[in-house]
């Protein structure tokens, strides 16, 4: 009996050895695991990811990083897992472990290895743990930040070792914060936890608040007061910053309003033309940006970051030319007849919309953000997005340039002369029809470059203009017709008022309240914030 059992077990062992030996000789286990990644569903894939992370091999971080970014593919023919990068139809491939280049492969021959949010989280935490001791401080910082997000109490020991070795102050702080967050979740001693709470209070942002509120439920009675006071101190601090943040949001909304309205401040404000097609001219500017980006994408991909700089003068020329054409073709026949002007330009706006819809299709067109306009940065307690910052700066520059043109150039002088007293200007030798056309062209051109900026934050679709036309008139009327400074102050006031109302009243009611406010204001001051005085008003 026992002999037979012994023999059987010996045979079994031999068979097992025979089965495993060759495979061990051929490939290393890491390779096997990587090749197993595409198999099965998300649950199986997650297990493989954990196994890969468990090997602790530094090469794993790159493989998982590629997987998280969606750069890991299988070759359709052989099923081999490879890394593929690049844009377009032909991708550069490489071996995921050795990084050896394997040449270009057509996209149709590749299958992407899919990941979902759960896998992405598993990957982030695995990569964080694997790169915590990396050579580059930036890698270590990213690792510490991703460990802060995953907060795994099991990683405390690893963080302790890392902190002891760390000499970069920023990375060290991030690691200590990650450790503190993990400590709060663990069953560490009370004084350690209180120290952890202090670390988080020092961090003092929303993330820290999230950890403290998360720890509140299920905290012991000894710990609760420390957590409560921590939450309170962070909340107080955030309340202060959120007021400032609101001012910033208001400024940024205000500068969008300013951009949309500033062209109208010329055509409507200075010339007195009720131009309902103003929004569509803004839209044409946005479409010019789209066309420029499309040409760049197809022919000179390297220039993409400069696309907006190229689009700006082009948009000014295109929309300026359209403006001159509109003035010469339609508006000059209608001076002094506001109702007809309104109807004609309204019809024109529909024609422009439908033309764009026929040429470019009814769908949104993709206008990309150059890299310097993507993302956000933190300034003390404020979070500022790059695209909004650039738009605020851009709006101010446009305003300053326009002011200079109107006040310091011969053209500006003639424009003001014509609008103030047409007959006198004419008898002084100014060609008034010519100045009218140029003024309208200038207003339209400015609307066009506003379109370039708006394409960065809004849809580029045929309806783009409609959403701005009401706001534009509102700003110009509120600020005072015929006064650029009024437009600036009006736009910023409305922007900030809107953003302070929004948190309390909601976006819908906030907008209604602003409209009601403007109606009441116009009742009291029909000429807006900064009324023009003198004879021009009665002309």
Partner 1 sequence: MTLNLTRRATLAAALTGAMALSLGLVRAADDTIKVGILHSLSGTMAISETTLKDTMLFLIDEQNKKGGLLGKKLEAVVVDPASDWPLFAEKARELISVNKVAAVFGCWTSVSRKSVLPVFEELNSILFYPVQYEGEESQRNVFYTGAAPNQQAIPAVDYLMNEEGVERWVLAGTDYVYPRTTNKILEQYLKDKGVAAEDIMINYTPFGHSDWQTIVSDIKAFGSAGKKTAVVSTINGDANVPFYKELGNQGISATDIPVVAFSVGEEELAGIDTGPLVGHLAAWNYFESVDTPENKEFIDKWHAYIGNDKRVTNDPMEAHVIGFNLWVKAVEKAGTTDTDAVLDAIIGLETPNLTGGIAKMLPNHHITKPVLIGEIQDNGQFDVVWETEGTVPGDAWSDFLPESKMIEADWTAPINCGNYNTETKACGGAS
Site residues, partner 1 (CB under 8 A): 42, 70, 114, 116-118, 120-121, 124, 149, 206-207, 209-217, 242, 245-246, 249, 252-253, 256, 353-354, 357, 361-366, 368-369, 374-376, 383, 385-388, 457-463, 466-467, 498-499, 502-503, 506-508, 511
| Shortest spacing between CB 163 and partner 1, in angstroms | 24
Handedness of CA 46, 51, 53, 59 (dihedral sign): negative
Instruction: Tell which residue, 338, 285, 275, 290, has the closest CA to residue 316.
Output: 285
**455: which DSSP letter?**
T
Spatial distance between the Cα atoms of 102 and 109, rounded to a whole number of angstroms: 14
| Shortest spacing between CB 525 and partner 1, in angstroms | 26
Question: Hey, which residues does 74 pair with through a beta bridge?
Answer: 81, 111
Query: What is 184-233 written as a DSSP string?
Result: HHTT--HHHHHHHHHHHHHH-SHHHHHHHHHHHTT--TTTHHHHHHHHHH
Residue nearer to partner 1 on the CB measure, 304 or 521: 304
Residue nearer to partner 1 on the CB measure, 246 or 420: 246
Sequence-ordered list of residues with C-beta below 8 angstroms from that of 276, at least 6 positions apart, any chain = 342, 345, 346, 348, 349, 469
| Residue 150: other Cβ atoms inside 10 A | 17
Spatial distance between the Cα atoms of 398 and 382, rounded to a whole number of angstroms: 26
Residue nearer to partner 1 on the CB measure, 401 or 507: 507
| Shortest spacing between CB 394 and partner 1, in angstroms | 16
| Shortest spacing between CB 358 and partner 1, in angstroms | 8
| Shortest spacing between CB 210 and partner 1, in angstroms | 4
Residue nearer to partner 1 on the CB measure, 190 or 507: 507
Residue nearer to partner 1 on the CB measure, 215 or 262: 215
Sequence-ordered list of residues with C-beta below 8 angstroms from that of 509, at least 6 positions apart, any chain = 501
Q: Is 498 helix (H, G, I), strand (E, B) or coil?
A: helix
Residue nearer to partner 1 on the CB measure, 466 or 493: 466
Residue nearer to partner 1 on the CB measure, 334 or 384: 384
| Shortest spacing between CB 230 and partner 1, in angstroms | 13
Spell out where 95-222 has E strands: 101-106, 110-112
Residue nearer to partner 1 on the CB measure, 31 or 145: 145
| Shortest spacing between CB 509 and partner 1, in angstroms | 9
The answer to whether the CB of 332 falls within 8 A of the CB of 440 is no
Residue nearer to partner 1 on the CB measure, 111 or 198: 111
Residue nearer to partner 1 on the CB measure, 7 or 507: 507
Spatial distance between the Cα atoms of 309 and 302, rounded to a whole number of angstroms: 14
| Shortest spacing between CB 249 and partner 1, in angstroms | 4
Sequence-ordered list of residues with C-beta below 8 angstroms from that of 35, at least 6 positions apart, any chain = 79, 80, 81
Q: What is the gyration radius of the CA atoms in the chain, in angstroms? A: 32
Spatial distance between the Cα atoms of 208 and 234, rounded to a whole number of angstroms: 8
- Tokens of residue 203, six digits: 């961090």
| Shortest spacing between CB 314 and partner 1, in angstroms | 21
Q: Is 106 helix (H, G, I), strand (E, B) or coil?
A: strand
The answer to whether the CB of 140 falls within 8 A of the CB of 134 is yes
**458: which DSSP letter?**
S
Spell out where 365-487 has E strands: 376-379, 382-385
| Shortest spacing between CB 184 and partner 1, in angstroms | 10
């Amino acid at each position: 009996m026992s002999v037979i059992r012994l023999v059987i077990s010996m045979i079994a062992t031999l068979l097992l050895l025979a089965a495993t030996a060759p495979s061990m000789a051929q490939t290393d286990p890491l390779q096997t695991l990587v090749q197993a990644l595409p198999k099965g569903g998300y649950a199986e894939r997650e297990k493989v990811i954990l196994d890969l992370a468990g090997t602790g091999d530094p090469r794993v971080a790159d493989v998982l990083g590629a997987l998280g970014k969606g750069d890991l593919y299988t070759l359709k023919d052989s099923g081999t897992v490879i890394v593929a990068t690049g844009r377009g139809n032909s991708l550069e491939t490489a071996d995921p472990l050795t990084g050896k280049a394997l040449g270009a492969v057509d996209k149709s021959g590749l299958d992407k290895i899919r990941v979902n949010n759960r896998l992405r989280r598993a990957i982030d935490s695995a990569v964080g743990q694997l790169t915590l001791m990396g050579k580059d401080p930036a890698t270590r910082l990213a690792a510490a930040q991703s460990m802060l997000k995953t907060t795994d109490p099991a990683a405390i020991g690893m963080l302790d070792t890392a902190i002891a070795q760390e000499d970069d102050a920023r990375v060290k702080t991030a690691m200590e914060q990650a450790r503190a967050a993990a400590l709060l979740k663990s069953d560490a001693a009370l004084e350690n936890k209180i120290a952890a709470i202090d670390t988080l209070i020092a961090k003092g942002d929303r993330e820290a608040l999230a950890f403290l509120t998360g720890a509140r439920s299920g905290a012991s009675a000894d710990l609760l007061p420390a957590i409560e006071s921590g939450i309170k101190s962070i909340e107080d601090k955030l309340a202060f910053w959120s007021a400032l943040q609101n001012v910033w949001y208001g400024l940024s909304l205000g500068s969008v309003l300013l951009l949309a309205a500033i062209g109208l401040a010329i055509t409507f404000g200075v010339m007195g033309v009720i131009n309902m097609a103003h929004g569509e001219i803004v839209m044409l500017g946005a479409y010019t940006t789209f066309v420029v980006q499309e040409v760049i994408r197809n022919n000179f991909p390297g220039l993409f970051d400069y696309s907006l700089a190229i689009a700006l003068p082009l948009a000014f020329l295109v929309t300026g030319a359209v403006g001159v054409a509109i003035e010469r073709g339609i508006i000059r026949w209608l001076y002094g007849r506001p109702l007809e002007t309104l109807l004609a330009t309204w019809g024109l706006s529909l024609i422009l919309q439908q033309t764009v819809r026929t040429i470019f299709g009814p769908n949104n067109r993709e206008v990309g953000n150059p890299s310097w306009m993507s993302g956000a940065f933190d300034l003390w307690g404020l979070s500022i997005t790059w695209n909004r910052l650039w738009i605020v700066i851009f709006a101010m520059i446009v305003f300053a340039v326009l002011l200079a043109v109107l006040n310091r150039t011969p053209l500006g002088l003639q424009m003001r002369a014509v609008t103030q007293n047409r007959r006198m200007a004419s008898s002084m030798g100014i060609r008034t029809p010519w100045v009218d056309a140029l003024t309208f062209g200038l207003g339209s051109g400015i609307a066009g470059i506003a379109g370039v900026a708006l394409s960065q934050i809004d849809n580029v679709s045929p309806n783009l203009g409609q959403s701005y036309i009401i706001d534009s008139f509102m700003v110009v009327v509120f600020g005072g017709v015929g006064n650029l400074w009024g437009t600036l102050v009006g736009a910023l006031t409305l922007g900030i008022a809107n953003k302070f109302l929004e948190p309390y009243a909601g976006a819908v009611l906030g907008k209604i309240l602003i409209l009601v406010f403007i109606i009441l204001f116009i009742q009291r001051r029909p000429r807006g914030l900064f009324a023009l005085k003198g004879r021009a008003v009665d002309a």
